Amino acid sequence: MDKNKKFIWEMFQNTGSIDGSLSENIAKSWIHSREAGVNPNKICLEKNMVRDGQLKNSLHKNKKIIQIVKPVMKELCEQFEEYKLTVTLLDTDLCVLVVQKSHDELLCNTLKISNRPGFCYSEEKIGTTAISMCAKTGKVETISGYEHYCREYHDVFCVAVPIYDENNNICSILGGTGILKNKVSNLDTILAISSKMITNNIKMQNVERELDTKSNLYGIIFDTISDGMLTVNMEGIITSVNPAGMQILGIDKSCIGKHITESVDFEPTILEVIKNRKGYIDREFRLEGKNGMIHFVKTAIPMKDERGNMIGCLDVFRSITQVKSMVNKLTGAQAKYTISNIIGKCNSIQNTKKMIKIAGRNDSTVLIQGESGTGKEIIAQAIHNHGIRKNGPFIAINCSAIPRDLIESELFGYEKGSFTGALKGGRPGKFEMAHGGTLFFDEIGDMPLDMQSKLLRVLQQKSLVRIGGFKEMAIDVRIIAATNKNLDEMIKEKSFREDLYYRINVINIVSPPLREREGDIDLLIDYMLRRHNLINGTHKVISDKAREILDKWEWPGNVRELENAVEYAYCMAEDKEILPEHLPNRIFNAMTKGQNNKSFNMPLYNNGVITIKQAEIIAIKHALNHVNGNMTKASKMLGIGRTTLYEKIHKIGLIEYSNE
């Protein structure tokens, strides 16, 4: 789910406020849906079904259109069978006339309810959909997930295209719907082509219907679509190609009328489709062309006449760069946080913000060090958004969360057949997906030693080879790493490579622990509480006593723990004011029991026991205070080396002693 769009939808439903990032057309549709009284939480089947007599009349009125469109709908479902696609034909009143389904038993309840003859998709009944938007704009429309007005469509995507009659008036709507997780990347392109073909059939019902006649009429759509398109007949002769296709393949219009092998210097995959009469969807190809390697994703659709005989093939392709950009947007692989999202005014946070700006202006590798929960990924995203790569992808990989035997394939990708369970067409790795952007290695201290050496080689050579492959690919990626471990100690223990450490630690940024951020806790509490109030339309406030307890807590879990505590207290407070008893039990009880232990100034756990980390902080503070900050005497008193004491002071953020 896109968390940002979910927040925008919930904010509108709760407050009626429209986020500025929402498109103008969708915003207007949401407002109109609300004014029409559409229930955003429940679709009522009975209220949205037209009368039997009305459906019967519409079926009779659109009989000719249905005869033309039905074979196209069937072909679309067959070609997109693995994506569980449902195709619908609707009249101008947005009443469903015909439904074609790939897998009826696998459809979600929402699609089973709404994709049936007689169901009405008008905006006044079920709110914003691609179908209702298409009827308004007369253009191809795509609505996904939380862009829908009704909650029941939030797991669904929908693409709709208009079909025109001989007078260039919209006579029906063709829609394709499916589960959001199975979303087809180029369905809008395929449906647009289908719409043109259907419209042409309507206009030319009594005229020649061969492919070459239709292909000549596709010029307008060919010239405006960003995907590359090329058609060939059964002899492999090119019958049409659009400008995007010519640019990707490095050819010109003179290729039309020639065999495809005369225009490209690699074995055309489309000839295999002509031979075996089977198309494919979103298959990756990397072929050596005139201008180097051509890397793209292709869809091949066999074209048939009205009798079902194959008469040629449509080849739709786009550059891998376009595909990766689209995938990154759909999967949320973009940095959403900036410096403005880092809340705090203390000296350590101001210094962190300064370092973020410095790192953003450069393209060097960055190492972010700090305890868990201090917001290291937010810092990484802010660096990305402050630099020249801000329009590129931001890919994050947690080195501690990926199984050891999968981390190499996750990073470098693999070719088809590389190992048992590999995807048919292979899979790009995180480095490829991050090309032109930033790759963030979270918890890099947990990366296995053997992978550290492979990562170092890729960083040095700026190229990689997929698992099971042999072609070397250049990569352009900015590296940011983060860890909560002491890499210096790990190097001494031979559990982290020293050469990799120096490779990633060009710019070093420390993410300070919350207990050392004087004055920032109140700012963070207010910020978090405002956010919960905005989302839920409430006006809760925190009492002085509750705030005092939160101020005194040492926050071993840092900002993440504070966020959890504020959300818990918000939920527990049934009235407007958040009181001490609404705080998490571990904090409320520990602070109450800790009144007799004020000299430690630390929260207690489990019957008065403190953590080892807290005991170490207490010991260091007391030793330094006892010897008036003398590092040599303090290290002897603690039984550790002077260098080790410096490292520990730096790690826990004792600024007053770190610059002795």
Task: Judge if 117 and 53 occupy the same domain.
Answer: yes
Q: What is residue 97's predicted lDDT score, i.e. its pLDDT?
A: 94
Question: What CATH number corresponds to the domain at position 367?
Answer: 3.40.50.300
190-207 pLDDT, tens digit per residue, is 898 888 888 888 777 655
pLDDT at 418: 61
The CATH number given to whatever domain includes residue 283 is 3.30.450.20
pLDDT, tens digit (0-9, with 9 covering 90-100), for 309-325: 899 998 888 765 554 55
Query: Looking at the structure, do residues 30 and 119 belong to the same domain, yes or no?
Result: yes
Count: domains in the chain:
5
Q: Tell me whether residue 124 is in a domain.
A: yes
CATH number at residue 69: 3.30.450.40
Q: Which residue has the tokens 């705080």?
A: 583
With a cut of 50, list the residues of the chain below it in pLDDT: 1, 208-215, 323, 326-328, 330-332, 595-601, 604-608, 659-660
Domain that holds residue 438: 333-511
Question: What per-residue confidence (pLDDT) applies to 540?
Answer: 94
Same domain, 351 and 490: yes
**489 shares a domain with 543:** no
Choose one of 168, 203, 238: the last residue of a domain. 203
Give the whole-number percent of the chain exceeding pLDDT 70. 85
Burial (CB < 10 A; 0-12, 13-18, 19+), residue 277, is exposed
What is the pTM (predicted TM-score) of this model? Answer: 0.49
Residue 605 lies in a domain: no
Sign, CA torsion 240/242/244/246: positive
pLDDT in tens, 271-321: 888 888 888 877 767 666 555 566 667 788 898 888 888 999 988 887 655
Q: Give the pLDDT of residue 443.
A: 93
C-alpha separations of 528 from 520, 534, 545, 562 in Å: 12, 10, 18, 9
Q: How far is CA 503 from CA 192, 452, 482, 500, in A?
A: 49, 11, 13, 5
| 22 and 169, same domain (yes or no) | yes
441-463 as b/e: b if 16+ CB within 10 A: bbbbbbbeeebbebbbebbeeee
Is 604 contained in some domain? no
**Same domain for 312 and 388?**
no
- How high is the pLDDT of residue 289? 57
Same domain, 309 and 337: no
Looking at residue 42, its pLDDT comes to 85
501 and 547 part of one domain: no
CB 94 within 8 A of CB 120: yes
pLDDT at 659: 47
Q: pLDDT value at position 107?
A: 60
CA distances in angstroms from 76 to 195, 200, 594, listed in the order given: 12, 18, 69
Q: Measured between alpha carbons, how far is 82 from 106 in angstroms, rounded to an integer? A: 11
If asked whether residues 19 and 167 sit together in one domain, one would say yes
CATH code, domain carrying 647 = 1.10.10
Question: Which pLDDT score, from 0 to 100, does residue 319 have?
Answer: 64
